[in-house]
Amino acid sequence: MGEILDGKAIGEALRNKVAVGVQAFVERTGRKPGLDVILVGEDPASSVYVRNKAKSTEAAGMRGEVHKLPADTSEESLLELVRSLDAREDVDGILVQLPLPKHIDAERVLDAVVPEKDVDGFHPVNAGLLFEGRRGLVPCTPWGCMRLLDHAGVDASGKNAVVLGRSNIVGKPAAMLLLQRNATVTIAHSKTKDLPDLCRTADILVAAVGRTEMVRGDWIKPGAVVLDVGINRKPDGKLAGDVAFEEARERAGWITPVPGGVGPMTIACLLENTLRAAWARAGLPPSELPL
Ligand code: NDP
């Protein structure tokens, strides 16, 4: 029976660490790190995420500001806001909540965030740094997965890692981070053949497909670490991951639940990224960042 990787508790410990770092930052610079979140429209799920982000930012001792814009905001005025935040000294992190309304070119907007403030790690400069194995701002969800591996004391070096999903937000960066840790990485997607057999080779399995409980118990290699990124709504309204948790737990060594696994790590890593961005912008030595 696999041990549960409790993202709620591990995320809280990380948030506390960030709060200590924030205090150190305030003492050294005389100002708080600042995260500005832009929400366009009233998508209910996005509104909840944004509210949670703002609350956690303040709880960590940072300045948090939410910019709410109506759904019919033009691309130009959204870009204007992004550029004004790019220019502001007190803004360390800019997060544009996705999805954006259809009339707005999301890529153009995300590209307008200066890479130093791109706490989501979606800018091509940060994606490129990650690809090269250099340290930029890393997307929060896959970074949270790495922190969970660290907590489990898993050394990925030489292990087989299978990442299900190839999005720019989760799958690809997760694969790059595992590669940096010297895992032998396979990226699977909707065209991959014999998925169950492939998964059975995985010492580390990251599931980020968005398909309710697609990964069954007999897909899991005994003792594997299973990181379930999926957040899916079942017909009864309950949340479920991409992995059939109870079955998979029988064989896994470590496994994340949904909810309470990868999800809470994502927000903790957003705070970590904001502190990292602030620290770098203030020119403080990275070696003194207490993370
Ligand atoms: P995307 O929809 O962008 O990507 C899904 C990926 O899964 C694609 O690469 C797709 O392949 C692949 N896929 C879809 N169906 C199958 C299948 N049947 N077999 C194999 N591969 C398949 O999703 P995201 O990466 O944005 O998110 C993935 C999941 O993670 C979602 O449930 C999302 O809600 C959740 N999520 C959770 C977060 C958290 O904080 N915990 C944060 C972000 C996302 P192809 O490329 O071929 O289409």
Residues touching ligand 1 (Cβ under 6 Å) are: 141, 164-167, 169-171, 188-192, 195, 208-211, 229-232, 262-263, 266
Read off the pTM.
0.97
- Looking at residue 277, its pLDDT comes to 98
Percent of the chain with pLDDT over 70: 100
For residue 210, report the distance from its CA to the centre of ligand 1, in Å: 5
Average of per-residue pLDDT across 126-135: 96
Average of per-residue pLDDT across 237-249: 97
Average of per-residue pLDDT across 16-42: 98
Q: Give the pLDDT band of residue 274 (cuts 50, 70, 90).
A: very high
- Looking at residue 244, its pLDDT comes to 98
What pLDDT, in 10s, does the model give residues 152-163?
A: 999 999 999 999
Average of per-residue pLDDT across 281-287: 97
Per-residue 3-state assignment (H helix, E strand, C coil) for the chain = CCEECCHHHHHHHHHHHHHHHHHHHHHHHCCCCEEEEEEECCCHHHHHHHHHHHHHHHHCCCEEEEEEECCCCCHHHHHHHHHHHHHCCCCCEEEECCCCCCCCCHHHHHHHCCHHHCCCCCCHHHHHHHHCCCCCCCCHHHHHHHHHHHHCCCCCCCCEEEEECCCCCCHHHHHHHHHHCCCEEEEECCCCCCHHHHHCCCCEEEECCCCCCCECHHHCCCCCEEEECCCEECCCCCEECCECHHHHHHHCCEECCCCCCHHHHHHHHHHHHHHHHHHHHCCCCHHHCCC
**What atom in ligand 1 is closest to the CA of residue 262?**
41
Which residue has a Cα nearest atom 40 of ligand 1? 263
For residue 192, report the distance from its CA to the centre of ligand 1, in Å: 14
Q: Which of 97, 189, 256 to mutate to test the pocket of ligand 1 (most atoms within 8 A of CB)?
A: 189
Beta bridge partners of 36: 65, 94
Phi first, then psi: what are they for 83, rounded to 5°?
A: -65, -35
For residue 82, report the distance from its CA to the centre of ligand 1, in Å: 27
- Looking at residue 273, its pLDDT comes to 98
Q: What is the mean pLDDT of the chain?
A: 97
For residue 208, report the distance from its CA to the centre of ligand 1, in Å: 4
For residue 243, report the distance from its CA to the centre of ligand 1, in Å: 12
> Please, what are the domains in the chain?
29-114 (3.40.50.10860), 140-263 (3.40.50.720)
Average of per-residue pLDDT across 268-274: 98
Q: Give the pLDDT band of residue 70 (cuts 50, 70, 90).
A: very high
Q: Give the pLDDT band of residue 275 (cuts 50, 70, 90).
A: very high
Average of per-residue pLDDT across 266-286: 98
Q: Give the pLDDT band of residue 141 (cuts 50, 70, 90).
A: very high
Average of per-residue pLDDT across 88-116: 98
What pLDDT, in 10s, does the model give residues 179-221?
A: 999 999 999 999 999 999 999 999 999 999 999 999 999 999 9
Active site residues: 53, 97, 120
- Looking at residue 90, its pLDDT comes to 98
**What atom in ligand 1 is closest to the CA of residue 266?**
40
**What atom in ligand 1 is closest to the CA of residue 210?**
32
